[in-house]
């Protein structure tokens, strides 16, 4: 059973450092809950969806029985770990007021039960389960689980970032070695999608492409995009849409791994604000140089 963790107020400090919102036992319980729900509700439906199991919420925006049942199962498990509101993608699509808690400063979970649903529907293994934690209107915790690869990324403010229980930096060095060091020294291409951008933004992004050395396509699954970023497979990410369940987990993990996530107008990233200037995620030492090029071409 998940262990209930007492919430530490943001104003509580120990030796000049803020106490993490979750202890080690509670953090492990989040990952265990995600794995259990994926095994029970998502993976059995992968490449086995019946016609009635798939619906459209909007153009190209799918929801499946896996999304609905996984969120339904995961929500009480998270509240048993830390009893704060849960902002789930599917609950929010039925009642948009669910997201209002993100603007209050109170702690809250975010849940994307099947991130990359279109990929999931198409039978691609590029989908993820994502859980985020918000406090004070900012992302402070993130978990990204890739069920078909069995990989779990985790980050919590003040604790650090990890991959499958190992320090993320050590895991990247062990698995990629020279390739990772070369990525740090060079300027790998960023991953960008202009598919959902309004015309003026699309034109600006295309105008900046040559100056930035070209783009690769986003994976249409933030759980894989942010994983590519923190393992240095891509140089940066740029999004024109910012749903909280898509970005809170990755932003929290990235922050603990030496990356910055913020809007290209310099206004930072607040999960409660879904619209505005495009959202840029990049290594902190490169973020401003990429932002300047994008902002100039977009007139921001």
pLDDT in tens, 162-216: 999 999 999 988 876 666 555 556 667 999 988 778 898 999 999 999 999 999 9
Amino acid 188: pLDDT? 77
Amino acid 6: pLDDT? 30
pTM for the model: 0.91
CATH fold, domain 13-171, is Fructose-1,6-Bisphosphatase; Chain A, domain 1 (3.30.540)
CA distance 276 to 216: 23
Amino acid 50: pLDDT? 93
More confident residue, 84 or 3: 84
Amino acid 4: pLDDT? 29
Q: Is 289's pLDDT higher than 60? A: yes
Amino acid 8: pLDDT? 34
Start and end residues for every CATH 3.30.540.10 domain found in the chain: 13-171
pLDDT in tens, 220-235: 999 999 999 999 999 9
pLDDT in tens, 47-77: 999 989 999 887 778 999 999 999 999 999 9
pLDDT above 70 coverage of the chain, percent: 90
CA distance 174 to 169: 9
Where residue 260 falls among pLDDT bands split at 50, 70, 90?
very high
Where residue 293 falls among pLDDT bands split at 50, 70, 90?
very high
CA distance between the termini of the chain: 49
Return the number of other C-beta atoms located less than 10 Å from residue 278's C-beta: 22
Q: Is 277's pLDDT higher than 70? A: yes
Q: Is 3's pLDDT higher than 60? A: no
CA distance 185 to 278: 26
Mean pLDDT on 112-119 = 97
Amino acid 187: pLDDT? 65
More confident residue, 1 or 98: 98
Start and end residues for every CATH 3.40.190.80 domain found in the chain: 176-298
* Three-state DSSP string of the chain: CCCCCCCCCCCCEECCEECCCCCHHHHHHHHHHHHHHHHHHHHHHCCCCCHHHEEEEECCEEEEHHHHHHHHHHHHHHHHHCCCCEEEHHHHHHCHHHHHHHHCCCCEEEEEEEECHHHHHCCCCCCEEEEEEEECCEEEEEEEEECCCCEEEEEECCCEEEECCEEHHHHHHHHHCHHHHHHHHCCCCEEECCCCCCHHHHHHHHHHHCCCCCEEECCCCHHHHHHHHHCCCCCEEEECCCCHHHHHHHHHHHHHCCEEEEECCCCECCCCCCCCCCEEEEEHHHHHHHHHHHHHHHCC
CA torsion sign for 198, 199, 201, 202 is: positive
Q: Is 256's pLDDT higher than 60? A: yes
Where residue 15 falls among pLDDT bands split at 50, 70, 90?
very low
Contact in structure between 222 and 127 (CB atoms under 8 Å): no
Amino acid 180: pLDDT? 56
Amino acid 193: pLDDT? 86
Top CATH class of 176-298 equals: alpha beta
């Amino acid at each position: 059973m998940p262990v209930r963790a007492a919430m530490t107020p943001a104003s509580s400090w120990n030796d000049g450092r803020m106490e993490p919102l979750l202890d080690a036992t509670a953090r492990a319980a989040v990952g265990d809950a995600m794995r259990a729900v994926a095994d029970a509700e998502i993976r059995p439906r992968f490449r086995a969806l019946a016609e009635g199991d798939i619906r459209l919420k909007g153009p190209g925006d799918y929801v499946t029985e896996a999304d609905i049942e996984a969120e339904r199962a995961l929500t009480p498990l998270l509240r048993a770990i830390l009893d704060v509101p849960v902002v789930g993608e599917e609950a929010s699509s039925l009642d948009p007021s669910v997201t209002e808690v993100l603007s209050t400063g109170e702690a809250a979970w975010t849940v994307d039960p099947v991130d990359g649903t279109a990929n999931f529907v198409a039978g691609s293994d590029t989908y993820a389960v994502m859980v985020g934690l918000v406090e004070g209107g900012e992302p402070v915790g993130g978990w990204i689980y890739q069920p078909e690869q069995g990989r779990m990324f985790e980050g919590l403010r003040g604790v650090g970032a990890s991959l499958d229980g190992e320090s993320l930096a050590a895991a990247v060095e062990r698995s990629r070695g020279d390739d990772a060091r070369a990525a740090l020294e060079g300027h790998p291409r960023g991953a960008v999608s202009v598919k959902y951008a309004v015309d003026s933004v699309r034109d600006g992004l295309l105008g900046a492409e040559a100056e930035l050395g070209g783009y690769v396509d986003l994976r249409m699954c933030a759980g894989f995009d942010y994983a590519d970023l923190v393992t240095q497979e891509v140089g940066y990410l740029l999004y024109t849409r910012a749903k909280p369940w898509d970005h809170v987990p990755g932003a929290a993990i990235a922050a603990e791994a030496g990356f910055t996530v913020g809007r290209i107008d310099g206004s930072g990233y607040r999960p409660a604000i879904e619209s505005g200037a495009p959202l840029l995620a990049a290594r902190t030492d490169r973020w401003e140089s990429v932002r300047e090029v994008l902002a100039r071409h977009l007139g921001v």
